[in-house]
Structure 1
């Protein structure tokens, strides 16, 4: 029999990770100090997010086997659930439902703690990529992705923005899916169904403008061929079913190459797949030993980057269908990558570092340090001269990458912190960001979305916050700037899509995804003036791909 050995340090390490995943920073710090975890070899070991919850779930399954393995009518028809805190007693009578009474939130409360519950994967482990790359949050409510109890008291403000607050005991009618206003053309909004579970990612084809891809938790990719009007879009998309032995090969990222002929698919099963327009596998490889969070084609399409939970990033030679180089520069999860130019790129990780790397070198050209917690996303500006990074430390930083040479720093990161522009103001993890310039101006600005529910606009030279939008009552998961830099769309766990005018800094249009599985996980904005195309794609928790024809919405179209 295999010997099982469990030490107190291992248990403390699991609890420490659970505290960190739940956002209980002070509790995690106190436990680490009290248990002297920093002195233990366990402290440096990687613990997957949700590991404690997964182990406890397995223990309950084992407990169920213990109680029911002998069979019989009582075991076969047992209606009693299994709990970590109660002894199981088989019964044919269902237990009485227990009512949870939520605490009252006073109307004048200056700040409201947002429920940042993560999606739950099919194995019971919280999903870490719902904010695109990853997001840490309390594991309080299982299964229903971002189910909204607190939204009942918050959405009343959104249902009628001009109305006064209703009495506390008033019966609230659930808001239906649809726009906030009554003037939006119904033909401007269409939901494409076909996925069996939540849709996590979406991407318009950059060359073949009628194509859009969507990826789902059901381990499938669909390539939809859009026709006008959107309501008559193809009901039979090209479907790519991921064949995998992995328990939950959820999709995390989709990336088209420049020509629009190839689609790279990142997945939780650690396998990179590149597909063609017919859905056939062009290339696949299992080099990574952990979930792949991000995949990015280089500007020319020659190279493909992947970032993985295993702490590495891989550079793939697309034409020759081979691995060119694997970079092992992070000491923890590699969470995002972005290209500076066709031969230089940046990677960031849970180790709080940003590395600038070359396709020809294994070691970093430069290393940026300064963040105090995991870096969630990085994005290079359109000219390839500056890089923005956002982190769980509630800050965003702007780094100068204009004079990056092919010579590695003698002491990487020595002066990086001093040169960064620090953007402070969010009160929770900053999850997503986007560069933009107002039409007719040259000043580069930045938008950031956070788990505090706010979206902020920044001057990237002075670090000044130019405006704060506080319309979301749940974490902001998605942010997309329109190609003409006139508008910004944000989506959140509260089910709302908001479109803002970046010029006037006002909200101009709102759409609600519905109260049942409401999350808006990803937004892609497509714009081609000569073809009269202006539309949004939305990856939705309600198992659908949302398509919004902006050209048919006067509130947006006429706001330029």
Structure 2
């Protein structure tokens, strides 16, 4: 009889949370359970281990229940299977074992009750003959009924065929009108679009020649970001490292980047490579792309040069860092941690400038409004707007009924968007205490939000400003910010969506999901124009500054770079 220790179970739960995308919960659980002290080699634990373990346990109980459904006499502790069988044998093998055993029992039972079964068959035959004779008498009484029914069916067939043809014709007319209204107005009148890939979208798989797979990480890749200065792509992983990849211009290759990979490994550990306390949870490039900041599960922020030199280690947080952002000027770095605080770091001195301790729960996200003021959000449901040098928040927004997962300022810094576990996204203004708009179309938790790079303050000032929200309900929704109403719902994923990113020109939206697919959507038409299927859930997607490459980081330890051309 096999057994499992509490430490092993804790590790399986930790891995399940990570693989399912519940990164905040995973870090909090791992911190309290002491996963960083575990001696388990994570590289030996297969993906979905906890799910497989539980699933096979359920199968085991189900098989035993099926077994006990017979009237065969057996000891209370009798079992056809041993727990080890559940780990080592395929479910089909287990089913064959049980099936063979049950067939033998049933065979014995049938032999003992053969006479009873034979009598039953005779009775059924007599009843069948009686029913046939009755039907014959009914047919004699109604000789024309069968012909009438056939004529009716024939007429119904004609009506269905005509209705089907009318439906197709009307469908084509409606679809043309539908697309035309969206293209002319950007909205669809009183009712929002509800895009379905089954009817409206014609996905085009991205060719393997346009995909570069970057291999080297030995655990899930949680985050990635392009340098604003060129062809450098940074990635952060659960293997206690970040990497800076130099991506060649032009098409990719079907398996991995040709020749020796031009990559710099940024090690966050000393000694063991599976120290979970060193997981890289977040990263961000400064404005000119010369410095990369990484946040880690060990509570430290690190500053690296573009060629991988460690410039500084920023140490004050007492728990994992969930988010960090450079201000536009590049003189301050802002970090948010599970220790409930946000800290502004002075990059020139390498010291912390100010700590902000205003939340009662872990700080989940931070975002600069300008070079000196910023917003923070927390599991406590609050959003604080703070300013360097001020000892209290200059504004606190209350309204969410659950954890606030992400916050983002619009391109002008006048509007703040937030999303929460309460299934809503909200838009706020410093000019008033209550939210401007309460966006309530999702039916599950909203994990992230993104503003489009359009409207005032952007390189595309003549285009409408939009907000995109991505949810556990597997949809992405695009919102009219001025009216606070839904423009369209993008329904193409089958599992939670954890990341969305607009292309630099605002014409396309990339989305990554736990269904292992990355879709690229036309924002104007609301349909999928490109799609790529990988071998693991996707944690983040991002565009390069030219808008011709999209990177995605996967749970199966790889980063994919996709060449995008329309």
TM-score (norm 2): 0.63
Q: Find the counterpart in structure 1 of residue 433 from structure 2.
A: 416
Q: Find the counterpart in structure 1 of residue 336 from structure 2.
A: 307
Q: Find the counterpart in structure 1 of residue 543 from structure 2.
A: 525
3-state SS of 1:221 partner: strand
1:527 deviates by 3.1
The 8 Å contact of residues 180 and 511 in structure 1, kept in 2 or not, is answered as no
The 8 Å contact of residues 240 and 276 in structure 2, kept in 1 or not, is answered as no
Measured in 2, the distance between the counterparts of 1:220 and 1:261 equals 19
Matches within 5 A, 1:265-276: 265-276=294-305
The 8 Å contact of residues 386 and 395 in structure 2, kept in 1 or not, is answered as yes
Residue 369 (structure 2) pairs with residue 340 (structure 1): yes
Q: 1:238 aligns with which of 252, 256, 264?
A: 264
1:327 deviates by 0.7
Deviations 1:371-408 (A, max 9, x none): 0000000001111111100000000000113x5xxxxx
1:286 deviates by 2.5
Deviations 1:243-278 (A, max 9, x none): 268544221111011121111001111111111122
Q: 2:483 aligns with which of 453, 458, 462?
A: 462
Q: Find the counterpart in structure 2 of residue 501 from structure 1.
A: 522
Q: Find the counterpart in structure 2 of residue 435 from structure 1.
A: 451
1:181 deviates by 3.6
The unaligned stretches of length 5 or more in structure 1 are: 1-13, 23-45, 62-82, 102-156, 163-178, 404-414
Distance 1:455 1:344, change over 3 A: same
The 8 Å contact of residues 238 and 276 in structure 2, kept in 1 or not, is answered as no
Distance 1:509 1:55, change over 3 A: same
Distance 1:270 1:383, change over 3 A: same
Q: Find the counterpart in structure 2 of residue 288 from structure 1.
A: 317
Measured in 1, the distance between the counterparts of 2:224 and 2:27 equals 26
Distance 1:93 1:330, change over 3 A: closer
Deviations 1:478-520 (A, max 9, x none): 1001110100010100011111111111221111113xxx211
The 8 Å contact of residues 476 and 497 in structure 2, kept in 1 or not, is answered as yes
Q: Find the counterpart in structure 1 of residue 209 from structure 2.
A: 187
Q: 1:218 aligns with which of 239, 245, 248?
A: 239
Residue 469 (structure 2) pairs with residue 448 (structure 1): yes
Distance 1:440 1:281, change over 3 A: closer
Q: Find the counterpart in structure 1 of residue 418 from structure 2.
A: 389
Deviations 1:307-329 (A, max 9, x none): 00010001000111111011101
Q: Find the counterpart in structure 1 of residue 496 from structure 2.
A: 475
Residue 286 (structure 2) pairs with residue 257 (structure 1): yes
Measured in 2, the distance between the counterparts of 1:442 and 1:213 equals 30
Distance 1:193 1:331, change over 3 A: same
3-state SS of 1:393 partner: coil
Q: Find the counterpart in structure 1 of residue 187 from structure 2.
A: none
1:94 deviates by 4.8
Matches within 5 A, 1:367-382: 367-382=396-411
Measured in 1, the distance between the counterparts of 2:518 and 2:36 equals 34
Q: Find the counterpart in structure 1 of residue 149 from structure 2.
A: none
1:193 deviates by 0.6
The 8 Å contact of residues 465 and 480 in structure 2, kept in 1 or not, is answered as yes
Q: Find the counterpart in structure 2 of residue 201 from structure 1.
A: 223
Distance 1:352 1:194, change over 3 A: same
Q: Which structure's residues are more often helix, by fraction?
A: 2
Measured in 1, the distance between the counterparts of 2:236 and 2:26 equals 27
3-state SS of 2:441 partner: coil
Q: Find the counterpart in structure 1 of residue 99 from structure 2.
A: none
1:55 deviates by 8.8
Measured in 2, the distance between the counterparts of 1:361 and 1:521 equals 35
Residue 548 (structure 2) pairs with residue 534 (structure 1): yes
TM-score (norm 1): 0.64
Measured in 1, the distance between the counterparts of 2:227 and 2:232 equals 5
1:194 deviates by 1.0
The 8 Å contact of residues 337 and 363 in structure 2, kept in 1 or not, is answered as yes
Deviations 1:123-159 (A, max 9, x none): xxxxxxxxxxxxxxxxxxxxxxxxxxxxxxxxxx98x
Measured in 2, the distance between the counterparts of 1:355 and 1:310 equals 16
The unaligned stretches of length 5 or more in structure 2 are: 1-9, 19-24, 41-56, 62-76, 96-195
Q: Find the counterpart in structure 2 of residue 43 from structure 1.
A: none
